[in-house]
Amino acid sequence: MPASKKSLLKKHETTSSLLPVADTIANFEIRYVQFLNAQAKIVNELPDFANDNDCLLELYRVMKTLQMFDHKVLLLHRMGKIGTYTGTLGQEAVGAGTASCLRNEDVFVPYYRSATDLYVRGVKLHEILLYWGGDERGSNFDDPRLKHDLPIPISIGTQLLHAAGVATAIKLRKQKDRAVLTMTGDGGTSEGDFYEAINIAGAWNLPMVIVINNNQWALSESNTAQTACQTLAQKAIAGGIEGIQVDGNDVIAVKATTQTALEKARNGGGPTLIEAVTYRLCAHTTIDNMDSYVDKQKYNSAAEQEPLIRLKKLLQTRELLDDSKERELELAIKQEIESEVEQFLQTPPPAPGDMFDYLYASLPERVAAQRDEVIQRENPDADIS
């Protein structure tokens, strides 16, 4: 290559290091929160709720339920009883830690891998199965238990703008003590919607908390392949909002961080972006084969760090859990799962015309005509008036 075509910059030289810079006009840092490390060692003074044994036992029960549910759903899929499901294996602490901070009047805006949060929020496991079995009644958020929450989106990133919209409504109505919690995957932070949402959240000081479930994978695309950022939390800087990284396998850290961020939002302190670093120990969905792209060694070392092991050790140290109590808990969860699965399997399929019920508040004429056609094909004698 001729010398003139070569870059003038030497390795490690940056634009600013080559120019006469007068001053540093902005400084940023990203902090990392952890209380219980992978060896179950307490590395920081615990927040108050972590001294409440019932609270920790409940977090453990929720995580164990979703862990066992994941295995069960995989079997149902292999038996042809369910289409697809986006597992939460390895990521249970992100769901349990975040959702346990929500109050009824808050608004939860899920993404498709929020099953743990939905469960904590009151959605039954059979409803989660119905949704993933293609039955919209599983996502029936007219239910008074969830009257403010939004349904499950499949498009990546859209929910972040919906969450910003809800937070705007809360702000315009001057509703105090109320906030929005939403979630995205790490891949979702590569979407334009993500940047638009954090931008408006910052500009309008919206009462919202965005949690990134950084499970290291966007389907088969590794986290490092899709961003040059050292952390995803630092993306908050672009929106002028606070960004913080948390050990997503430490349920105490996830809960403490979400609780603080939600309190801040409810009190007019504005938005927070929380990156919860975890690892997806299941395939992307039940129809994905991750053996073709996941390094076995990395997977095994991530499995050693998963969230239940360390919480179990803490509970054992406090003499709250032993082998027999663990077996008792597993049995109770197994019964719950079996009965929920039975309810799912016994639910008669929806009538084909029902799919139109969940699209619009009132159907446009063009779509109404399509619905009538579907109903009449199924049942020529049907009254469609």
Ligand X SMILES: Cc1ncc(C[n+]2csc(CCOP(=O)(O)OP(=O)(O)O)c2C)c(N)n1
What tokens were used for 182? Answer: 């939403």
Q: Cβ of residue 247: shortest distance to ligand X, in angstroms?
A: 18
Measured CA to CA, the distance from residue 154 to residue 199 in angstroms comes to 22
Can 173 be counted among the known catalytic residues? no
Among the listed ranges 14-22, 104-112, 218-226, 363-371, the one in contact with Mg ion (CB under 5 A) is 218-226
Among 185, 248, 271, 353, binds ligand X (CB under 6 A): 185
Query: Among residues 243 and 270, whose Cβ is nearest to ligand X?
Result: 243
Q: Cβ of residue 254: shortest distance to Mg ion, in angstroms?
A: 16
Q: Which amino acid, residue 129?
A: L
Q: Cβ of residue 151: shortest distance to ligand X, in angstroms?
A: 15
Q: Per rule CB under 5 A, is residue 215 in the interface with Mg ion? A: yes
Measured CA to CA, the distance from residue 279 to residue 93 in angstroms comes to 11
Can 71 be counted among the known catalytic residues? no
Q: Per rule CB under 6 A, is residue 131 in the interface with ligand X? A: no
Binding mask 272-311 for ligand X (x = CB under 6 A): --------x---x---------------------------
Binding mask 229-268 for ligand X (x = CB under 6 A): ----------------------------------------
Query: Among residues 113 and 178, whose Cβ is nearest to ligand X?
Result: 113
Which one of Mg ion, ligand X, none interacts with residue 188, CB within 5 to 8 A by kind?
ligand X
The active-site residue, picked from 293, 318, 358, 377, is 293
Question: Cα dist. 254→42, 98, 125, 277, 312 in Å?
Answer: 14, 6, 23, 10, 16
Binding mask 194-233 for ligand X (x = CB under 6 A): -------------------x-x-xxx--------------
Can 280 be counted among the known catalytic residues? yes
- Stretch 146-185 residues interacting with Mg ion (CB under 5 A): 185
Q: Cβ of residue 275: shortest distance to ligand X, in angstroms?
A: 12
Q: Which residues pair with 259 in a beta bridge?
A: none
Q: Judge whether 53 and 318 are in contact, CB under 8 Å.
A: yes
List the Cα angle 306/309/313 in 5-degree steps: 150
Which one of ligand X, Mg ion, none interacts with residue 255, CB within 5 to 8 A by kind?
none
Q: Which region, left, alpha or beta, applies to residue 12 given φ > 0 means left and ψ of -120 to 50 means alpha?
A: left
Crossing angle of the two packed helices 307-317 and 92-99, in degrees rounded to 10: 60
- Stretch 51-110 residues interacting with ligand X (CB under 6 A): none
Please, what's the largest Cα pairwise distance for the chain? 82
Which one of ligand X, Mg ion, none interacts with residue 97, CB within 5 to 8 A by kind?
none
What tokens were used for 319? Answer: 């003499």
Q: Cβ of residue 217: shortest distance to ligand X, in angstroms?
A: 5
Give me the active site residues, please: 280, 284, 293
List contacts with Mg ion (CB under 5 A).
185-186, 215, 217-218
List contacts with ligand X (CB under 6 A).
113, 154-156, 185-188, 213, 215, 217-219, 280, 284
